[in-house]
Amino acid sequence: MTLLAPPPRPAKLVDQFERGLDAPICLTWELTYACNLACVHCLSSSGRRDPRELSTDECKAVIDELQRMQVFYVNIGGGEPTVRKDFWELVDYATAHDVGVKFSTNGSRIDAKVAARLAASDYVDVQISLDGATAEVNDHVRGPGSYATAIQAMEHLAAAGFEGFKLSVVCTRQNLGQLDEFKAIADRYKAQLRLTRLRPSGRGADTWDELHPLPHQQRELYDWLVAHGEGVLTGDSFFHLAAYGDALPGLNLCGAGRVVCLIDPIGDVYACPFAIHDEFLAGNVRDPGGFQHVWRESELFLELREPQSAGACGSCDFFDKCRGGCMAAKFFTGLPLAGPDPECVLGHGEDALQALATGAPAAKPKPSGDHSKLLSKRQQREQAVTRMPDKACDESPLAAFPILQR
């Protein structure tokens, strides 16, 4: 008689994902570095178009590849992707080739006509960026008039009957007290609220110290997210908060080069949208073998799919929960990748940053490309007079420091 062993329990999905998949689950594709805004925390330091940006035909070839690899959808961003003349042509091409599109926009091109067109398509989703529930807080980060622009875009989408588009908020020290207000705005326009983590990437490297949430705000955010469950999207970006208690809904892992990646406007493939730096550059879609070759064979991505050293976090009881946090957040704050996240909820990141500050001065890595608009002296003066409103949460003595000054 043969006794059958019970079937082995499947390995944890997260473990499988850390070893990488043959194709990304989703990817971020920034179509252009051109932007009509100049947000102070822009991950890609966008502003000016890069003359090397992929042509329409090159973009279509990438879409063909994504279809072959069964990448079901892309998150399109920029820059402001809708300023590309071929934007709608590319969206239509993607959806006709089984690649769904969600695009991020500041809303400046979402008029009534565009909204109606979007509402009629199942395969296209829109994400409106708003980083303050009031014009005061939002415009400080995203620029004058950007609040009104985003609200108007949402009004057009709601009027066209587009339900469930995304209202996307980067959580900052200045807006974390407004979570209920953000939720109310999303509900008003039948949108879904999406909260994501601020990263010290791109121009965010310069504004991180003034924008990133304070420790007690992180706790409040965690509790708020737990209370709202799956009703609020997070892009799975807050897994570093998991050490507070139960894991938040979603995938709690760093998917960089394993299940996600970034294609930038000139075709460079980076491990993730927050890591535009030569350290995390895997290749270019124009290289022989195209995107698929970069994804499957690049030295960097293969290395990221190997077991990573936990470093100083190895002895922490919570390592299984937060897995050391965000690679890009560590890198751009100058911390070693094997070690705590700068916003480690146990405070280990702050300790590490302190040690860094008191040790020999080491230059923090700078983003590899900067497409920021060049400001005239007059524009610089105008931006420098912008001040944050006085808020109860402004605890830092530097709270009134003008973050827009560069």
Partner 1 sequence: MSTTTVSPDRATTFDLDGSWRLHPQVALRPESFGALAYHFGTRRLSFLKDRTLLSIVEHLGAEPCAADACAAAGVAPADLPRYEQALATLAATDMICPGAPA
User: Counting contacts by CB under 8 A, is residue 65 touching partner 1?
Assistant: no
CB of 16 to partner 1, least distance (A): 5
To partner 1, the closest distance from the beta carbon of 20 in angstroms equals 11
The dihedral through the CA atoms of 349, 355, 357, 362 has a sign that is negative
We find the least distance from the C-beta atom of residue 401 to partner 1, in angstroms, to be 36
Provide the CA 136 distance to its chain's centre, in angstroms.
Answer: 23
Q: Which residues in 364-393 contact partner 1 (CB under 8 A)?
A: none
Task: Say whether residue 57 binds partner 1 (CB under 8 A).
Answer: no
Minimum distance between the CB of residue 296 and partner 1, rounded to whole angstroms? Answer: 14
As a whole number of angstroms, the distance between CA 310 and CA 321 comes to 12
Residues 251-270: x where in contact with partner 1 by CB under 8 A, - otherwise, as a string: x-------------------
Q: Do the bridges between strand 166-171 and strand 100-105 make them parallel or antiparallel, or are there none, so unpaired?
A: unpaired
Give the max Cα distance, the chain.
88
Backbone angles phi, psi at 73, to 5 degrees: -160, 160
Stretch that binds partner 1, among 20-28, 297-305, 318-326, 364-372 (CB under 8 A): 20-28
Closest CA to 160 of 220, 201, 118, 196: 118
- With beta carbons less than 8 A apart as the criterion, state whether 282 and 300 touch: yes
Instruction: Using alpha carbons, select from 96, 98, 90 the residue that is nearest to residue 71.
Output: 98
What is the phi/psi pair of residue 34, to 5°? -75, 140
Binding segment for partner 1 (CB under 8 A), chosen from 27-35, 98-106, 197-205, 289-297, is 98-106
Segment lying near partner 1 (by CB under 8 A), choices 37-45, 67-75, 79-87, 395-403: 67-75
The yes or no reply on residue 22 touching partner 1 (CB under 8 A) is: yes
Q: Determine if 72 is a binding residue for partner 1 (CB under 8 A).
A: yes
Task: Pick the binder of partner 1 from 57, 122, 299, 317 (CB under 8 A).
Answer: 122
Q: Is 13 in the site for partner 1 (CB under 8 A)?
A: yes
Comparison of 26 and 375: residue with beta carbon closer to partner 1? 26
Q: Which is nearer to partner 1, 72 or 319 (CB)?
A: 72
Q: Least distance from C-beta 101 to partner 1, angstroms? A: 10
Choose the stretch contacting partner 1; rule: CB under 8 A; options: 3-11, 334-342, 368-376, 377-385.
3-11
Q: How far is CA 165 from the centre of its chain?
A: 17
Nearer to partner 1, 125 or 131 (CB): 125
Q: Give min distance, CB of 8 to partner 1, in A.
A: 11
Encoding tokens for residue 56?
């329409």
Q: Among positive and negative, which fits the CA dihedral 78, 80, 82, 83? A: negative
Q: Which is nearer to partner 1, 166 or 348 (CB)?
A: 166
Site string for partner 1, 195-234 (x = CB under 8 A): -----------------------------------x--x-
DSSP string, 114-179: HHHHHHT-SSEEEEEE-S-SSHHHHHHHH-TTHHHHHHHHHHHHHHTT--S-EEEEEE-TTTGGGH
User: Of these, 250, 334, 365, 402, which contacts partner 1 (CB under 8 A)?
Assistant: 250
Distance CA 223, CA 244 (A): 9
How many residues at the interface with partner 1, by CB under 8 A? 24
One of 10, 229, 288, 397 touching partner 1 (CB under 8 A): 10
Instruction: Give me the sign of the Cα torsion angle 131, 134, 139, 140.
Output: negative
Check: CB of residue 133 under 8 Å from CB of residue 159.
no
Residues 84, 102, 321, 323: which binds partner 1 (CB under 8 A)?
102
Q: Give the residue carrying structure tokens 């953000």.
A: 182
List, as one string, the DSSP characters of 226-257.
Answer: HHHGGGSB-TTTTGGGGGGSSPPSS--S--BT
Our CB check for partner 1 shows the closer of 98 and 279 to be 98
Residues that bind partner 1 (CB under 8 A): 7, 10-11, 13, 16, 21-23, 25-26, 70, 72-73, 98, 100, 102, 122-123, 125, 230, 233, 235, 250-251
